[in-house]
A = this chain, B = another copy of it.
Amino acid sequence: MSRWEPNARERLVRAAVESFLERGYDEVTVAEITERAGLTKRTFFRHFADKREVLFAGQDILSRTFAEAIAAAPASATPLEAISAALTATETTFGPDHREFARKVQAVVADQSDLRERELLKRAKLRAAMADALRARGVPDPAASLAAEIGGLAFTTGFARWVAPANERGFGEVAREALSELVEATTKLG
């Protein structure tokens, strides 16, 4: 018998988020998540260290997507053009059919201080991944760190606008808009 389960990771994530929303994050056990997903606890722990990590499963993919897009930007691209390309590349992860799910994850995270802290930490790692990718392109510090911080703010602002109830625009569009506003703001800091 094969231990491979099709889409196990995604099934676990979706089952966990639905359970968290229905019964509250604190109340839900790993056993409940695996039962809902029709999978074993063994499979769960092959994919995640604990129930908290299920909510942040996408962040590692995101860090890789950002780093790869920055590396793949044309040699002539400025640091901010490379960041803009990375925000655009994120649309493969944050497509329109993912938005409703992302809203649910946000609702669970917003409700718990330890989950909000975990998110802050993951965002710090995302910025570090961007800064490293920029340095690998030959961008010196502090420009690499600074561009990564601006990219992180554009990501955070763009994400908040993307999951906002009334929004219908794509992630790339709102994130690039946020980046433009930040670039404009750099000229007004005195």
Contact = CB atoms under 8 A, between A and B. Distances in A.
8 contacts: A77-B190, A117-B121, A142-B178, A146-B186, A149-B150, A149-B152, A149-B153, A150-B189
Interface string A172-190: 0000001001110110111
Most buried by B among A81, A157, A186: A186
A157 B143 CA distance: 13
Report copies per complex: 2
A149 B190 CA distance: 15
Q: Please list the 4 inter-chain residue pairs (A to B) with the smallest Cβ-Cβ separation, ordered nearest first.
A: A78-B190, A149-B149, A143-B185, A186-B186
Contact of A153 (B124, B145, B186): B145
Nearest to A156: B145
Contacts of A188: 143
A147 interface: yes
Contacts of A183: 189
A80 interface: yes
A106 B16 CA distance: 38
Interface string A147-166: 10110110001000000000
Given A80-B189, A117-B121, A150-B189, 9 more contacts: A78-B189, A79-B190, A142-B185, A143-B185, A146-B186, A147-B189, A149-B149, A149-B153, A183-B189
A78 B185 CA distance: 12
A136 interface: no
A136 B143 CA distance: 28
Interface in A33-92: 77-81
A117 B80 CA distance: 27
A80 B185 CA distance: 12
A56 to B, nearest CB: 13
